[in-house]
Structure 1
Amino acid sequence: MSSSFPLPTRRRPRTLALELVDSLGDRIRDGRIVPGDKLPTEAAIMEEFGVSRTVVREAISKLQASGLVETRHGIGTFVVGLGDGAAFRIAPEQIATLHDVIAVLELRIGLETEAAALAAARRTERNLAEMRSALDAFAAALAEGRDAVGPDFQFHQEVARATQNPHFAELMSTLGAMIIPRARLGAAEGVSEAQRSYLLRANAEHENIFDAISNRDSDAARAAMRTHLANSRERRRRAAVLSADQAGK
Structure 2
Amino acid sequence: MKTSMDARPQESAKTLSAELADHLCERIRNDRLAPGDRLGTEADLADQFGVSRTVVREAIGSLRGLGVVTGRQGLGLCVAEADNFSSVLRKALVPQVASPQGWRELQQLRAVIEIGSIALAVELITAEEIIRLQTIVVEMQRVMQKINQDPAGSSKAYKELDCLFHQTILAASHGNFVKQFHGVLLDYFHAGDLYGHPPTSKGLRDHELIANAIADRNTDAATKLLTDHLKPQLKAPCE
* Structure-2 separation of matches of 1:127 and 1:136: 14
Partner of residue 115, structure 1: 117
Moved more, 149-158 or 113-122: 113-122
Aligned pairs for 1:163-242 within 5 A: 163-179=173-189, 183-185=192-194, 195-196=198-199, 199-234=200-235, 236-237=236-237
Query: Percent of aligned pairs with the same residue?
Result: 18
Which of 120, 123, 126 is 1:124 aligned to? 126
* Structure-1 separation of matches of 2:222 and 2:186: 22
* Structure-2 separation of matches of 1:110 and 1:203: 21
Q: Normalising to structure 1: TM-score of the pair?
A: 0.52
* Structure-2 separation of matches of 1:162 and 1:186: 22
Aligned pairs for 1:1-249 within 5 A: 65=81, 85-88=87-90, 94-95=96-97, 98-145=100-147, 146-147=154-155, 148-179=158-189, 183-185=192-194, 195-196=198-199, 199-234=200-235, 236-237=236-237
* Structure-1 separation of matches of 2:165 and 2:195: 21
Is this contact kept in 2: 1:135–1:206, CA < 8 A? Answer: yes
Partner of residue 22, structure 2: none
Q: Structure 1 stretches (4+) deviating beyond 4 angstroms?
A: 64-68, 88-93
Structure 2 residue matching 1:86: 3-state secondary structure? helix
Aligned length: 152
* Structure-1 separation of matches of 2:137 and 2:228: 18
Give 2:143's aligned amino acid: A
Deviation at 1:159, TM superposition (A): 0.2
Deviation at 1:214, TM superposition (A): 1.0
Give 2:167's aligned amino acid: Q
Find the structure with the greater CA-based Rg.
Answer: 2
Q: Normalising to structure 2: TM-score of the pair?
A: 0.53
Moved more, 100-109 or 119-128: 100-109
Higher RCO structure (Cα 8 Å, ≥6 apart): 1
* Structure-2 separation of matches of 1:97 and 1:205: 29
Partner of residue 35, structure 2: none
- 1:142-199 CA-partner distances (Å, limit 9, x unpaired): 222211111000000000011122222222223233335x952585xxxxxx824xx3
Structure 1 residue matching 2:174: 3-state secondary structure? coil
Gaps in structure 2 of 5+ consecutive residues? 1-79, 148-153
* Structure-2 separation of matches of 1:164 and 1:186: 25
Structure 1 residue matching 2:88: 3-state secondary structure? coil
What's the RMSD between the two structures over aligned residues? 3.0
Compared with structure 1, are the counterparts of its residues 135 and 89 closer, same or farther at alpha carbon in structure 2 (3 Å cutoff)? farther
